[in-house]
Amino acid sequence: MIRHGQTDWNKQKLIQGHSNIPLNEEGKKQAKKVAKCFENKQISRIYASDLSRAYETAKEIAKAARIKSVETCEKLRERSFGDLEAKSVKVLYELVPNYATNWGAKPLYNIEALEVAQRRFIERLTEIMENSKGEKVVVVSHGAVINAFIHHVTSGEHGTGKTILHNTSITTFTYNQGKWKLEQLNDCTHII
């Protein structure tokens, strides 16, 4: 699982959520670097959020892995940050200081509830893996939903509220008999 490359909004510390922001030049370089990690990996399929920053990153990986197409899916999108999209991260922390740990709380400012974002992401990932048994797949998505998934898999030891995923970081999981296991977290060696 890979977080998308950098965008101008990442650099400016603006909240993206469902806003469709493309990769910037640095993000395109990061996508090419992470793609090299998959040149000889025998990847069967590549999935991505339907937002351009994830899709552009996935296309670079597909090219390196010699995969003909990337399957996009709305359920792999970032958590929606509602009325706070395009605002600074600082504003988010001021208005909703516990936004990353407010499990079960009534959403403010039309922000998608954590458990709703987590559930849709888990459902789609499980679907993907049930249809890809014995195969290696790549999923390119977004920081908040990947972190919510990590939180689920590690019972809160890592992920939401604890882990800062870097652009194009690689986090690896195995899926066996309906169970997820975290194998590698937030690997960024390809961009150092």
Q: Is 26 known to be catalytic? A: no
Find the catalytic residue in 78, 112, 151, 152.
78
**How far apart, in whole angstroms, are the C-alpha atoms of residue 46 and residue 91?**
35
Q: Is 78 known to be catalytic? A: yes
Partners of 45 in the β-ladder: 137
Short-list 96, 82, 150, 161, CA closest to 118: 150
Which residues does 103 contact at the CB level (< 8 Å), separation at least 6? 114, 115
Angle, in degrees to the nearest 10, between helices 52-65 and 25-36 = 30
Angle at the Cα of 180 (from 79 to 74), degrees rounded to 5? 30
Token output for 127 = 């679907």
Catalytic site residues? 4, 78
